[in-house]
Chain A
Amino acid sequence: MKLRRTFAATAAAALGATILAACGGGGGGTDTNSSGDTESAKGGTLTVLQHFPFESTDPQRIYYGVELSWFRRLLYRGLVAFPMDDSNEVVPDLATDTGTSSEGGKVWSFTLKDGVKWEDGSDITCEDVQYGTSRVFANDLIIGGPNYTLSYLSSLDYPGPYKATAKQQAAFDKAVSCSSDNKTITFHFDKPWADFPLAAASLMMTDPYKKSFDQGDKSKFKVLSNGPYKVEGGTWSKNKGATLVRNDEYDPSTDEPDKLRLALPDTIDYQIDPSDTAGELFNDRLIANAPADQTAITTARVAPSQFPKITGSVEDRYQNPESPYNDYLVPNFNRLKDVNVRQALAAALPLNDYVKALGGDRSATASETIVNPALDFPDNPAFADDADNDGDPDAAKALLEKAGVQTPYPIKLGYSKSPTMDKAMAVIKEGWDKAGFDVTLAPLTDTYYDVISKPDDDYDVTWAGWGADWPSAMTVLPPLFDGRPNISSTTCGNDYGCYDSDAFNKLVDQAAEATDVDEQKSILEDADKQLGEDVAYIPLEITKFNWLYGSKVTGFTTTAASSSYPEIGLIGVQQ
């Protein structure tokens, strides 16, 4: 899922990214940080200071990590959902159980609970889920959201509900079918989808959508809620936000409030300021903690330049969790064909200095793999040996000598421009230059990912960032390194280095065929080892988030389920 720019390194991630994934849940890697009053206080108004506009509030179009996890708690319940903790275990939400699979993970069915209702009082039916699922296929109209279902139902050749012929619609209704009592939905996928419930919990591509409410492009900011809140007036204002008030049709007895959503405040007041400096200003306001801001939280991370201001009592209102996003460097396989050269780059990388240039321990943690620790994935052996992370120019020189290349070896390093990245990349340049490379920095300003994914670009190494879409390495390694779906004559897709390895692809196929999640994971660990041996990527850092909140905010916690954003389902305000 997408990460919204605030500043610095990850700023680039959202810009021009076709897909930036993220994760809904996570393993035991991150800590659950609890704070404030443990006594939950119902009532009051929570203020949300948001530093960027959502591109849509239509469930099938949402891809920002923070929007997915917050709206799941507030407005849009899913078939299943992640509880407000760090476990990877989904719990039933609209459905009565977490789904039953048959035919080796190819068929999944869910039965809806009784008494679950839309905000207009009508029941949520299987047809609504079917319709919501079908909307994703209209990828000329319902754009911006995740579309994994398309590849699992690719045999249908279905253009979405707006353009489908009767025959196409019938075929779709057969593949995603409803029982006669309109309560049970069954998905018949083309291939096994072992972790489908995880995907359904993290993303909203199989969320219900009421057909009579759909106005195509016009429903981009219309909200028909089925959660504990509803949007006052029914329409979200892109640049102003909205006020969320209690949804009278929501029945907590159909829900598990302790696990999924406490819904403590009576109203939630969104204030959006999309200007460039809004993030820093919001955090300055939270540092000052004026009465009006004491009940506020923000989507904007504290900028590294503000860290020194977080001292004394402000530090009690501060949390610094690891995020689900990893950054890494991609060697271009069309240019750096010698594995020794790629290994030399990995050996000489001054990772600790790089982390310091990003703002130190509060901004980032050096990483030994591309897979986020929230996914409970082992370090990549190819990079784990480099335990000190200070960079070893001598080892790199030896590798370059072994490769028999002329030094200084020219390297063009592409990255997405920001003042912080300029400095961080200058540190990498210094480390690599010491090891016998001659690095040219190439900052890019717009459409970053489009440029670096061109197969004929002349970047030797590029920077990239990624987060899992749901807690499985299946949403990390195959989308980033499987050459077959990614590489075409005009683009290498998300496989920015145009890496294409038969050995790796074979492992990916095995993992996709796996019927249970543990088996899949062990195959993917082998795949990651293969990537390490080929140096298909060089891990950089796990981005860390920095959150401040007002002094009257209670229950402020970040979880893997909330993508390390504030867990809004637990947050209340003191009266």
Chain B
Amino acid sequence: MTSPANEVDEIATDEATHHSTGPSTAVVSKSPTRIAMERFRKDKLSMTAFSIVVFFFVAAVLAPILVKTGVLDPFGTNQDLLNEFSLPSGKWGGMSSSHPLGLEPGVGRDALSRVWYGITFSLAMSISATIIAIVLGVVLGIVSGASGGWADTIIGRLIDLTLSFPQTLMLLALSSVLVTFISDKLHVPSGNPSQAVYVVAILGLFGWTGIARLVRGQVLSLREAEFVQAANLMGASRARIYFKEILPNLWAPILVSFTLIMPTFVSAEAALGYLGVSIGPPTPTLGTVLNDSLSYADTDPLYFFVPAVTIMVIVVSFNLLGDGLRDALDPKGNR
């Protein structure tokens, strides 16, 4: 008589040998996720976009560390390297081994450090805003789609209201009032933290509508599905149905939305920085650096191109990544 433990061992060995002898004939079942991943990996364009996005993320995380250790210096001035018009002396906007992307006109701060450090703040703000928008959009979308009735009506009108709001105008007009409110009433440290909270809040609070509509559409078809009805019959609570039954089936559109909303927020932050409603000086963001560089487009073109091209690359690669993800997750989508 053998012990049960030995039996188990035998079975284990048995299985192992089976696998090693006949791998070519076995039919391996793949989860939909895996299929999508494989499809995505095969798409070279999406993979390139993905690596660029990863690169920017790593850069954004590294920047504060490099600034702390003194490798990057976005604040130190080098006015001795400027000519009599306060423009960088030498060719290519003052490019040199210590300033690989040249200098900022007027004060001579290192352009690479300014842009690199700016990426950190721009990405941090746009990602936070995207998360707010996604959470709001998904929750309201599910509630609206799944419950129907008066909740659906109210949320639908709320979306219309949000969309019809003159967002940019209000952003500018109310910025000083609301920033003071944020620092005084919500006890966020005044100055840049409050400005950042304001920009993130505004972008997030006005950016959820598209997502909510998308999710609502998906939920309308999902709520008739058998597993939802089964859960209903078994007396599951609404919260359970919304978030345990329906939500897991929505992650594909959510992921795609994330990668598509995020770049619009990067450019929105740049526009806001241009209008003076973002993190203040001397801290750089992509928007404020770009804003300053605009007037130098023909006298110091390199200084103008660096932030402009950086924003462009970030936005394009996020968009391509989003498109790639959508294609991979939903191959039947007409594109």
**CB atoms of B281 and A441 under 8 A apart:** yes
**CB atoms of B280 and A305 under 8 A apart:** no
A305, A429, A446, most chain B CB atoms within 10 A: A305
**CB atoms of B280 and A426 under 8 A apart:** no
**CB atoms of A360 and B85 under 8 A apart:** yes
**CB atoms of B84 and A361 under 8 A apart:** yes
**CB atoms of B282 and A426 under 8 A apart:** yes
What residues of chain A lie closer than 8 Å to B280, measured between beta carbons?
422, 441-443
What residues of chain A lie closer than 8 Å to B75, measured between beta carbons?
426, 430
Q: Mostly helix, strand, loop or mixed at chain B's interface?
A: loop
Q: B295 within 8 Å of A by Cβ?
A: yes
B87, B277, B300, most chain A CB atoms within 10 A: B87
**CB atoms of A359 and B191 under 8 A apart:** no
Q: A304 within 8 Å of B by Cβ?
A: yes
**CB atoms of A304 and B85 under 8 A apart:** yes
B104, B282, B296, most chain A CB atoms within 10 A: B282
Please judge, given known A-B contacts A359-B106, A425-B281, whether A445 and B299 are in contact too, CB under 8 Å: no
CB 8 Å contact bits of A473-513 with B (1 = contact, 0 = none): 00000000000000000000000000000000000000000
Q: How large is the interface on A (under 10, 10 to 19, 20 to 34, 35 or more residues)?
A: 35 or more
Q: B38 within 8 Å of A by Cβ?
A: no
Q: A35 within 8 Å of B by Cβ?
A: no
Contact of A357 among B85, B106, B191, B288 (CB under 8 A): B106
Contact of B86 among A360, A429, A442, A443 (CB under 8 A): A360
**CB atoms of A422 and B85 under 8 A apart:** no
CB 8 Å contact bits of B156-176 with A (1 = contact, 0 = none): 000000000000000000011
Q: A289 within 8 Å of B by Cβ?
A: no
**CB atoms of A305 and B276 under 8 A apart:** no
Q: How far is the CA of A239 from the CA of B288 in the complex (A)?
A: 30
* B175: min CB distance to chain A, Å: 7
What residues of chain A lie closer than 8 Å to B296, measured between beta carbons?
305
What residues of chain A lie closer than 8 Å to B107, measured between beta carbons?
353, 356-357, 423-424, 426-427
Q: A440 within 8 Å of B by Cβ?
A: yes
Q: How far is the CA of A54 from the CA of B76 in the complex (A)?
A: 41
* A429: min CB distance to chain B, Å: 7
Q: B317 within 8 Å of A by Cβ?
A: no
**CB atoms of B292 and A419 under 8 A apart:** yes
* A51: min CB distance to chain B, Å: 14
B77, B84, B292, most chain A CB atoms within 10 A: B77
Q: A362 within 8 Å of B by Cβ?
A: yes
Q: Which residues in window 293-313 of B have CB below 8 A to A?
A: 295-296, 298-300
Q: Which residues in window 62-77 of B have CB below 8 A to A?
A: 75-77
What residues of chain A lie closer than 8 Å to B295, measured between beta carbons?
7, 280, 303, 305, 419
**CB atoms of B282 and A422 under 8 A apart:** yes
CB 8 Å contact bits of A276-310 with B (1 = contact, 0 = none): 00001000000000000000000000011111110
Contact of A356 among B82, B191, B282 (CB under 8 A): B82
What residues of chain A lie closer than 8 Å to B281, measured between beta carbons?
422-423, 425-426, 441, 443
Q: A420 within 8 Å of B by Cβ?
A: yes
Q: Which 8 interchain pairs have the tightest Cβ spacing?
A: A422-B281, A419-B292, A426-B282, A305-B295, A307-B85, A360-B86, A423-B106, A357-B106
18 contacts between A and B (CB under 8 A): A303-B295, A305-B299, A307-B85, A308-B85, A309-B299, A353-B77, A357-B106, A358-B106, A359-B85, A359-B86, A360-B84, A423-B104, A423-B281, A424-B107, A425-B281, A440-B191, A445-B276, A445-B277
- Which residues of A are in contact with B by a Cβ distance under 8 Å? 7, 280, 303-309, 353, 356-362, 417, 419-420, 422-427, 429-430, 440-446
Known A-B contacts: A422-B292, A445-B175. Give 20 more (CB < 8 A). Answer: A7-B295, A305-B296, A305-B300, A307-B85, A308-B85, A309-B298, A353-B77, A356-B107, A357-B79, A359-B85, A423-B104, A423-B281, A424-B106, A424-B107, A426-B77, A426-B107, A426-B282, A429-B282, A430-B77, A443-B276
